[in-house]
Every structure is written in structure tokens, then in C-alpha cells.
Amino acid sequence: DTRLTVLGIETSCDETAAAVVRGPLDKNILSNVIRSQIDEHTEFGGVVPEIAARAHIEILDRIVAEALQKSKCSWDDIDAVAATAGPGLIGGVIVGFMTAKAIAMAAGKPLVGVNHLEGHALTARLTDDLDFPFLLLLVSGGHSQFLLVRGVGDYERLGTTIDDAIGEAFDKTAKLLGLPYPGGPHVEKMAKKGDVTRFRLPRPLLDRPGLDMSFAGLKTALRTQAKKLEPVDDQTVADLCAAFQRAVADVLAARTKSALDLFRERYPDTAPAIVVAGGVAANQEIRASLLSAANDAEARFIAPPMALCTDNAAMIAWAGIERLLQGPVDDMKLPPRPRWPL
Ligand code: KG4
Ligand code: ZN
């Protein structure tokens, strides 16, 4: 029986999370507990690393206990502990990973230090029937990249943002238009009321080949337009949000098309699939653009449920399972890392 039950811990940004996942047969999320720190950070207009680290320390033990209790597992049922070892805000990563080391040592379980990005990359294999290789578009507050996922531990970054991450661009745009943090959902809400034809924003880098993207220029162009019209009324804010969101969606759709072309060149005999993950994947217009780009290319489009697209510990537990299936793992000596490219 190759079934494993793994406790996962995630603390690399502003969610404190623990989960118990069983698999790979009868894949099952036995518990998935998340506590967001948004309230602690809102007044500062963004995540404050020191506050985040302290908030993780304060509740991680309770979150882990709750995850175990909800899973109806005892420590005897747990085969291993998996925790994010990076990349992320180092204070939080240290809290989660050192806690995991302590638990693993005390309970006599193997420890898996998971790369947070690998967690996002493998999530779709927990939620869907999906074989390697496949494409991943990761769009969050900290990352915007196309990854070719060839296997567990075997990733190739095909393209990335050369400046701001998309979520970051949404957040900065919201800030300069006077909308609250985190900006993404507010920009989307305003955009619904906006006239997308009123402002014309650039489509950065699309005149160049490859899969890299750029979003900082978009935000600057928007600021320039807004400055000319000060004081900006609500309708103008809505129109600017609509133009911004459409520009981002267009860039992503165009790059998705190129990514699928590249996939076809490399794997002419494999049906292409593209998975989207990260907080920005909550955006309906962006989702619709990606879906239609995938449909045009006759590719499968997979968007895991929102709670598993954003930061969570089930994806870390699952990545732990996938790693353990490759062979024994002992990451006791692995250091927590702020930077850790896949
Ligand atoms: O993956 P995530 O929850 O956390 C990390 O960054 O790791 O992503 C958060 C980001 C924020 O920048 C937020 O503004 C953005 O995702 N976001 C959205 C939407 N919901 C969240 N961006 C655009 N539209 C949304 N509906
Ligand atoms: Zn993330």
C-alpha cells in the first residue's frame, strides 16, 4: 500500500496554514485550515514581514492542532511532516519550517522541506487527473511565471515578469486609485462598472518574442492618465480599472498562446494542458481570457478550486506526498531560504 498521510505547514506569506492530506490513491484532503492575517496588514497597505512572522508564531501551534483534530488522525496515522522551506518572507518561513522540524523530530517522522512554488505547481495533480508534462501559469502577489512541469522536482521556467508580479501590479494600481488592500478584488469590482474603451493602456513586451512579461509600465501609464484628470471621480476610477484589467488579461492570453505553441513543439504527441494558480486566478475576466486562449489552442484548461489556488497547506502536504513517492526524504539539514528558484 503506497498510501501516505502527510501533515503540511505553510507560513511563507500572510496565511498561517496547516493541512492533512492522504494519497496518492483515493486522494483526500482530510483537513485544510487557513488563517489569513489580512486584518493585521490592511492598515499598512501591504504585508509587513515582521508583523507576519510574529502572527505566525502566535497561532501556528493551534492551527496545527486544529488540522490534526479535523483530519481525525492521530500522530500514529501521520507518515511525514512537510513544510514550506522557501521562497518567501524569511521570518515566516523560519517559524513554519523550524516548527515542522521540531514536530518531525519529536514524533519521529520524516521531514520534507517543500519549495512553495513546487506546492503551487503540483496542486492540480491533487485536484485533477493530470499527468506530466503540463504548463503552469502562476500568478500571485509575489510571482508571475510560466513553468513547464516535466515531473516532480523537474521544472523549467519558460518566462517570468521582468518587474512587478501581477498581483503586485493590481495592488499598486488599487493604491494609486485610492482603493483598499489587497487591491485585486477591488480593482475587479470597480472594473465591472467601467467603460473598457475610454482609456487605452499599453500591452508591454508583446511586440517581443518569448514568454517574459512586464507590468510596471502599465501601472505608470495608468498613473499618467489619472494625473491628467485629477481629481478623479468614481466613474474614471472604474474606467481605469477596466482598462488595466483588460490589458493584463490580454497580455496573459497572448503569452498563454505562445506557451502552448512552445509546448506543442516540444511534445508533439502529448495533449497540452495549462494550469493556472495563485491569487490572481480568482479574477473572472483573466480566467475567461485564459480559458478562451486554451480553447483556441485546443488545450485543456485547469483552474483548481480557489481555496487551493491561493496559499494553503494542502498543496504543501501534497507536494510532500509526491516527493516521498520518489524515495526517502530527510530534510532535517535543509536551511529555510528567502529565495529558492525552482
Ligand atoms: O496567491 P496569493 O493569495 O498570495 C501570494 O501572493 O502568494 O495572491 C495574492 C494576490 C494579491 O496581490 C491580490 O491582490 C491578488 O492576488 N488577487 C487578485 C484578485 N484576488 C486576489 N488580483 C486580481 N483579481 C482578483 N480578483
Ligand atoms: Zn503562493
Give the chain's domains with CATH numbers.
Answer: 4-126+308-326 (3.30.420.40), 131-303 (3.30.420.40)
Residue of the CA atom closest to atom 12 of ligand 1: 167
Query: Cell numbers at residue 95, please?
Result: 517559524
DSSP state of 303: -
Is 184 close to ligand 1, i.e. is its CB under 6 Å away?
Answer: yes
How big is the CA angle at 169 (ends 53 and 175), to the nearest 5 degrees? 80
What is the number of alpha carbons within 13 Å of residue 227 lying toward its C-beta? 6
Q: What secondary structure does DSSP assign to 311-342, as a single string?
A: S-SHHHHHHHHHHHHHS----TTPPP-S----
Helix, strand, coil percent values for the chain (each to nearest 5): 45, 20, 35
Q: Which of the 8 DSSP states describes residue 142?
A: S
Atom of ligand 1 nearest to the CA of 165: 12
What pLDDT sits at residue 103?
A: 98
For ligand 2, the distance from its centroid to the CA atom of residue 88, given in whole angstroms, is 9
* Cα 139 to ligand 2 centroid, rounded to whole Å: 9
Ligand 1 atom closest to residue 141's alpha carbon, by position in its atom list? 6
CB of 244 within 6 A of ligand 1: the answer is: no
Q: Please tell me the distance from the alpha carbon of residue 89 to that of residue 96, in angstroms, as a whole number.
A: 11
Question: So what's the ipTM on this one?
Answer: 0.98
Rounded to whole angstroms, the Cα distance separating 81 from 235 reads: 51
* 117, 120, 170, 215, best to mutate for ligand 1 pocket (most atoms within 8 Å of CB): 170
Beta-strand runs (E) in the chain: 4-10, 15-23, 28-36, 80-86, 111-115, 134-139, 144-151, 154-160, 273-277, 300-302
Q: Is 280 in the pocket of ligand 1 (CB under 6 A)?
A: yes
Per-residue pLDDT, 42 = 86
- For 62-103, give the secondary structure using H, E and C: HHHHHHHHHHCCCHHHCCEEEEEEECCCHHHHHHHHHHHHHH
Q: What is the pLDDT of residue 1?
A: 64
Q: Is 225 in the pocket of ligand 1 (CB under 6 A)?
A: no
* Closest ligand, as measured to the CA of 283: 1
Could you count the other beta carbons within 10 Å of the beta carbon of residue 229?
A: 13
Per-position pLDDT tens, the chain of length 342: 689 999 999 999 999 999 999 999 999 999 999 999 888 898 888 889 999 999 999 999 999 999 999 999 999 999 999 999 999 999 999 999 999 999 999 999 999 999 999 999 999 999 999 999 999 999 998 899 999 999 999 999 999 999 999 999 999 999 999 999 889 999 999 999 999 999 999 999 999 999 999 999 999 999 999 999 988 999 999 999 999 999 999 999 999 999 999 999 999 999 999 999 999 999 999 999 999 999 999 999 999 999 999 999 999 999 999 999 999 999 999 999 999 988
